[in-house]
Amino acid sequence: MSANFFNQIAQMGVNGDLQITIAKGAETNWIVSVLLLNESCGDSAKNIIAPLIVRGTPEELDSDFFEKITAPIQQVSGLMVNMESFMKQLEESQKQSAMEKQKAELQKKENEGKLKKYNDAMQKSEKLEQDKNYKESWTALPKIADFPEQAEAIRKRMTELEKFLAPSLFGEPID
């Protein structure tokens, strides 16, 4: 007697382990339960996939068993592979999200530090101007190259201070 049972299982090309249970049914019928287990799939939803149950006489099972189980078992195999792929992508997305949050938090801290440095320099310049130290006030201004987003405000402040450093030759009054 030559059987090609295992060759037919191999040709199904499924990922995972087939668990096949054979039980005697009523009269001459047999009940065959086929369950695909894939331990590499991390999604717990795999546990709600019910086994495929086939009933029939030995002759019916010999002739149609693989025709009846191949398509459904291949579908379940593909589903589990997709579930595992999804879980890996979800995990990677969560890691990326955490990294992006850290990066955004770091950027926010850098921006806050930079803004504080800018504000401190502007306040120092204003205090020096109040003390009539115009040259030191102009020198204390933040550099445009360090704060390009504040360039307009820095230039305006420079212009205000320059009238004290280089008065107009045409007699415009100094405030």
In the chain, DSSP finds a helix count (H) and a strand count (E) of 4, 3
pLDDT given for residue 163 in this prediction: 80
pLDDT given for residue 1 in this prediction: 59
pLDDT given for residue 170 in this prediction: 61
Q: Where are the domains of the chain?
A: 5-90, 113-167
Whether residue 73 contacts residue 17, with contact meaning beta carbons closer than 8 Å, is answered with no
Q: What is the DSSP letter of 8?
A: H
Mean pLDDT, each 10-residue run in order, the chain (175 residues) = 82 92 93 92 86 93 92 91 88 82 87 90 90 86 89 89 72 54
Instruction: Give Cα separations from 17 to 9, 10, 24, 34, 42 (angstroms).
Output: 11, 11, 23, 10, 15
pLDDT given for residue 22 in this prediction: 95
